[in-house]
A and B are shown apart, each in its own frame.
Chain A
Amino acid sequence: MEDKTLRKEKNPLKNIIILVIVAFFASLTLWGNAYFINLLTLLFLYLSLAQMWNLLAGYSGLVSLGQQIFVGLGGYCLAIMTEKYHQGLALSLVVAVAVCVAFAFVISFPIFKMRGVYFTIGTWIVAEALMIFFANWSFANYNIGYNIRMGYTFSPNIIYLMAYIIGIGSVALVFFLLRTKTGLALMSMRDNESAAEVRGVKLYGTKLRIFLLTAGYTGLTGAVLYLNMVYLTPDSAFTINWTVSMVFMVIIGGMGTIEGGIIGAVVYVIIQQYLYNFPGISMIILGAAAIAIILFLPKGIMGTLHSRYGWELFSVRRGLQNKGASVTSLKDILMK
């Protein structure tokens, strides 16, 4: 399947559009106003969270409700490294990623024994257990949490650039990962586990790699999120609300599409900001919107756009050259 002829024709216009967008957001540090910069910082960080959850649930079929584990661990690593040990930012971020990956590896042994809903519930229980553990742990300052003073030493532009790199990086990471053999293995696994295994996909190893990858990246994002927010407590670090936002972004945008995560993140951040003074109402609207989308547009905004108009920005499908026929439509032909 690595044959180049099986790739879709390259559209140079698309690449130019992407480049212009990427350059536009990078140039914002030179002329954007403070409010806008702050908003976009959040946007890019949430974009990264959405992409990682999408990679996990939408492409690998691991519906986890425990990704707040890694947001919280990332934030705590940053807080403890900078406040307790007075280390620099770079080392703290490295430690955050390392701790998240290591923790994910340790919990993968019990967690991966659970299937389907048990996996979903199991990950959530781990997160709740961590919340209580950190609230009772003297090393992590009990319930008081930390004030991350390092956050004040950076200008908003620098934090924006970090968020920007993480956000764009997450899109690029998912995009290029899905075009490799691993990506193909993931999608075949999500669609039919037994069939994929028969065709030689190593289920456990592939899932584990994706779980560790998303854990590390979510942890990195969490650390930068808390560098921006400056204050963390166990209740806020390990709250299910992190995963709620990931799930909503991905469902609204379209599960299993890269563009879906982007659309979802934009919608989410706009709703959050617009209803900033009414936090309850914004959550109610998000909940209702998510239910409405599951009922009426099961593929999300992006999936619906794609199946109606064939429009997509990041193609990870493999189709026949010149025909533009995707694998799914080939299957339709065969079914007839």
Chain B
Amino acid sequence: MDLFVSAVIQGVLLGGLFAIIGVGLSLVFGIMGLTNIAHGDIMILASFFIMVFSVQMGINLFVALAITIVVMVVIGAAMQKFLINRVITKGAEPALLVTFGISIIIQNILTLIFNADSRIIKGPFSDVNVVSTNWVSISAEYLMNCLVAVGVIIALSLVMKKTYLGRSIRAASSNVTAAEFMGVNTLKTYVYAMCIAVVTSCVAGLLVGQTFVFYPYSGTQYLIIAFGVVVIGGMGSIVGTLLGGLILGVSQLLGALFFGNGYMILIGYIVMLVLLTFRPRGLLSNMARK
């Protein structure tokens, strides 16, 4: 029983981390109908930047994160402006395949520079437990991940609701023509949306890099987690990603508890497929099928 409780608590905390991995993907899909295959690789690229700045150059972790955000926003904006925006009007497929190409390029450039070795970002919270009893123990790292993730997601949904930028992004996502009549430059809005998604990916990259080891090829694995979160929660729904992350995290840890560690990720995938079969548009999807 205590194992069960412990798995559920760990699962919920892990779910917060999963949610922030997925929120950028959800945002980009909700706004421009783009399935960003490079999402996971962008996050891992951010992890590598933070790793280089903080571990190899010895810069303070938060300064390293700030520098990484600046660098990644430039990369993300360029990617959106010069590559994706040129094909986004031609339907879902060409844009999806462009991001597929970007994903392959990022993975292989990272492998060329850093080899296939495992990396980790040493954070201030590793190996510290907040609650440590015979029954349950909660690591500070997991708790921190979850709190940061929830904070970022709440902040993001406030930005989307309260600011002009958020309103114009939502306008562009619900009706491109009407938004353009009202003076919204939709292509520019897409660039802003991609930048916001990249910033969340940088934070996710820091959290993931502190918690798990990562490789140049890890992007694919996190892309599928992000897909799972978004697919369960509903593409385009920001709050839905929290629910999606929660379900995925808990089901993975319960799967590990009942079937063994080897099956942890497999159980997550099966839950995803089952939910996708019965709710093909996600649990909390607030948008009509494109």
Contacts and interface: CB of A to CB of B under 8 A. Distances in A.
A291 interface: yes
Nearest to A288: B105
A286 B104 contact: yes
Nearest to B90: A298
B86 interface: yes
A281 to B, nearest CB: 7
Interface stretch (B120-128, B167-175, B265-273): B265-273
Contact of B97 (A240, A251, A288): A251
Contacts of A247: 97, 100
Contact of A121 (B90, B94, B227, B290): B227
A287 B112 contact: no
A116 B269 contact: no
B250 interface: no
B108 A283 contact: yes
B263 A63 contact: no
Interface in A103-154: 109-110, 113-118, 120-122, 124-126, 128-129, 132-133, 135-136
A205 interface: no
A311 B76 CA distance: 40
A291 B34 CA distance: 16
Interface in B124-139: none
A22 interface: no
Contact of A281 (B103, B112, B277, B289): B112
Contacts of A280: 108-109, 111-112
Interface residues of B, number: 43
Nearest to A121: B227
Which DSSP category, helix, strand, loop or mixed, fits chain B's interface? helix
Given A113-B277, A136-B262, A63 B102 contact: no
Interface in B244-280: 260, 262-263, 265-266, 269-270, 272-274, 276-277, 280
Contact of B276 (A114, A116, A294, A298): A114
Nearest to A63: B93
A181 B228 CA distance: 38
Interface string B75-113: 000000001001100101110111011111101110110
Nearest to A133: B266
A110 B277 contact: yes
B280 A114 contact: yes
B277 A120 contact: no
Given A113-B277, A113-B280, A115-B289, A288 B90 contact: no
Contacts of A125: 224, 227-228, 269, 272-273
B186 interface: no
Nearest to B104: A287
A294 B35 contact: no
A118 B276 contact: yes
A281 B107 CA distance: 11
Interface centre among A125, A135, A136, A295 (most CB of B within 10 A): A125
B155 to A, nearest CB: 27
A129 B94 contact: no
A129 B280 CA distance: 19
A39 B230 CA distance: 42
Contacts of B270: 129
A159 B109 CA distance: 35
B266 A129 contact: yes
Contact of B273 (A110, A136, A244): A110
Interface in A162-181: none
A63 B86 CA distance: 21
Nearest to A107: B273
Nearest to A116: B92
Nearest to A282: B108
B6 interface: no
B23 to A, nearest CB: 17
A284 interface: yes
Nearest to B33: A117
Contacts of A113: 276-277, 280
B265 A132 contact: yes
Contacts of A298: 87, 90, 94
A290 interface: yes
A125 B260 CA distance: 20
A135 to B, nearest CB: 7
A113 B101 CA distance: 27
Contacts of B263: 132, 136
Contacts of A287: 101-105, 108
Contacts of B92: 116-117
19 contacts: A63-B93, A63-B96, A114-B276, A117-B92, A118-B280, A122-B273, A125-B224, A125-B272, A126-B269, A126-B273, A129-B270, A132-B262, A132-B265, A136-B263, A136-B266, A280-B108, A280-B109, A290-B100, A298-B87
Q: Which 4 A-B pairs have CB atoms at the shortest separation, nearest pair first?
A: A110-B277, A287-B104, A129-B269, A291-B101
Interface of B: 29, 35, 83, 86-87, 90, 92-94, 96-98, 100-105, 107-109, 111-112, 220, 224, 227-228, 231, 260, 262-263, 265-266, 269-270, 272-274, 276-277, 280, 289-290
Given A136-B266, A298-B90, A298-B94, 12 more contacts: A114-B276, A117-B29, A117-B96, A125-B228, A125-B272, A129-B273, A281-B112, A283-B104, A283-B105, A288-B105, A291-B102, A295-B86
